Structure 1
Amino acid sequence: MHTPPTPPPRRPDAGLRSGSTPPGPNKIRETRPAATPPAPSAQQIADMTATARQLAGAHQEQNPKNLRYIASTRQATLAATTPSRPVGDASVYVIQMEGDFQRHVRHAKEPLRGTSMLILIDAETGQVTDWSISAQPFDLRELGQTVPL
C-alpha cells in the first residue's frame, strides 16, 4: 500500500506584516473599498474616548486636548495622512487629539515627540488599527466634518 507524501507545513504569506495572520482557508482578503461607517452610538463614543485617553497616557500625555473624530475609511485616511497603502480597507473612526506626546524608541537616544496623535479604530470591531504621533495635526477636511468627543 502506497502512502502519499506529507505536504510541507503551511507557511505564512511572505507579504504579511509582523503580527498579521494569514486569512483562514475560507476567508478571502477584502479588496473592495469600505464604506464610511454610520454615526457611532453613545457606547462607541465612550469607548473611543477611553481608548484615546489610554493611548495618550501611554505616550506621556495625561490631559489631551481637542479630541475629535470623523467617520471614514482606512484607505482614505491613510491616503490623506501617510504614504502607506495597506491591503484591503475597513470602515474606521479617526480620532485626532493634541498634547505633548512622547514615544520611547529602542536604540534612539531621544524619544520621538509630537503635539498631535491620530488613531484609527475599526468601526466594526472597535480595535485600534493604526496610530501615529506627528508635529502638526493633519488636515482632515477632505474626509468630512470632525465632531468633538
Structure 2
Amino acid sequence: MASSFVGTLLPNHFTQTKHSAVPASRSGAPRRRRVHLATTRAETMTTVIEKLGIKIERNPPESKLTQLGVRQWPKWGCPPSKFPWTYEAKETCYLLEGKVKVFPSGSNESVEIAAGDLVVFPKGMSCTWDVSVGVDKHYNFE
C-alpha cells in the first residue's frame, strides 16, 4: 500500500519534497515515487475583526503599513496599568508591543488587542484600557 504524504504550508516557510516508498515492482524491487509539493511561500494570514465599534486588523501586510505611513506616526507607550479613556477624534494605531483589554463604556464585553494589531477606535468612544503587558504603539488621530 502506498504511503501518503500530507503537507502543511506554514507562514514564511517553504514546502519540502518527500520521497515515499510504494509497493514493490513485479521484480520485487521497491519502487520510489517522488511526491512534490509546490514550492511557494505562504503569506501570513490577515484577519479583520470589528467588535463593539473597534476595528482590528491582525497581521496587516507591511505594504499596508507603508501605504498608511504608520512608521512615521508618533509613538506612545505605557506600562501595565488600568485607566479610562475617551477618543475625541478617530484614532488608528499599530501596536509594536503589548497586550490590552479594552472595555467600551456601557458594555460587559471587552476587546483584546496585542502586538501586531492595526486598530481603529471611533471618535467619541469612551472606554477603559486594562494594559496587562506594557504598550508601545504608533498612533494617528484624524
Normalised-by-shorter TM-score class: under 0.3
TM-score, structure 1 normalization: 0.25
TM-score, structure 2 normalization: 0.25
- Max Rg structure: 2
Q: Greater helix percent: which structure?
A: 1
